[in-house]
Amino acid sequence: MPRRGRRSEGAKKRWRRLDQEDLQSASSDRTKPRTPPTTSRVWSPTRSPLIKMSRLLESVSPDEALSSATAYQEEPREPMTFFRSGRGTWHRHRVKQWPRSDVIGLSHKLVLPAEAPEKKFALLVGDSHLRAIVDGFVTMPEGKFSFGFHATPGASAAQLRREVQKAVLPQTPEVVCLLEPSNNLTASRTPEEAAVDFDELLATICSRWPNVVVVDFPPRLVVEESLQLLLWQAYHRVAARRSVRYLSVAEYFPLSRLELWSKDGVHLSDTPGMEVLAQLLWVATYTQLEASEPKSPCAPKGKKVCF
């Protein structure tokens, strides 16, 4: 066995002394108050004094909507390609193959209900969020309505407008419920660009069918909240300028409830996510029909019953 020299013993002593000094230094660092690193203040919806979006059953005048939407214009804007990580936790059905549109080349379905004279014909117009309802994985509540569906998965506002232009319906719907196209989050470079396309879509729908209501697209987990908020507000300004009633539904999809989304973070889960959306679409259709129907004249003064 080799003999230990004095040099090796001295080296050991030096290493022990250095270790003790490191420990003392680390201990003193822990006792000192730390100053947090300076970071640039990034705007977020939770820190800004924003005006709350209207609740589902509250009506907002176009002037009020335009004034509240203007409050967002001075906030810094995120690029339309800014993504965040996010995954839902629940199930979405396996997508069925649909026929391709001869207009834009995307999957498309126009499904019309069986004739029911005792019911009101309502048409839902939207993108892939309507797939689960059209294919029967989620049931649309009906009641007094008989629903038809005009669904184009993957379509932007401009593409959806081209499909609406060529749609042939056997009768005029009592109500048309437009689910805002969320694909402009990736198809458009800015919220302003998306608003122009959405304005043309809404103008086309209103020129064909007289009674229209707009419903917000459900939020995505993979896109920054602030960006989605900007797009919602851009859509709201367009609807307000055209005096079209719009309903905000984002509050019914809190981002902490991951079971509302499928694993891709884009589409809602069949249950409970799409079940919630189906209920909201029904409520939007019902309230729009109630608001648009002429009010019954009241009886003369002194009578308690309206006829």
58 pLDDT higher than 50: no
pLDDT of residue 51: 31
Half-sphere exposure of 266 (CA within 13 A, CB side): 12
Q: What is the pLDDT of residues 204-242, one digit of tens each?
A: 999 999 999 999 999 999 999 999 999 999 999 999 999
22 pLDDT higher than 50: no
Residues 6+ apart with CB under 8 A from 51: 68, 71
d(CA 238, CA 241): 5
Q: Please, which pLDDT band fits residue 13 given cuts at 50, 70 and 90?
A: low
Average pLDDT, the chain: 77
Strands (E), the chain: 109-111, 120-126, 145-151, 175-179, 212-215, 245-247
pTM value > 0.75: no
Looking at per-residue pLDDT, the higher value among 80 and 227 belongs to 227
Could you give the dihedral angle defined by the CA atoms of residues 47, 272, 99 and 184, in that order, rounded to the nearest 10 degrees? 0
Residues 6+ apart with CB under 8 A from 195: 234, 235, 237, 238
pLDDT of residue 296: 54
307 pLDDT higher than 80: no
The amino acid sitting at 206 is: C
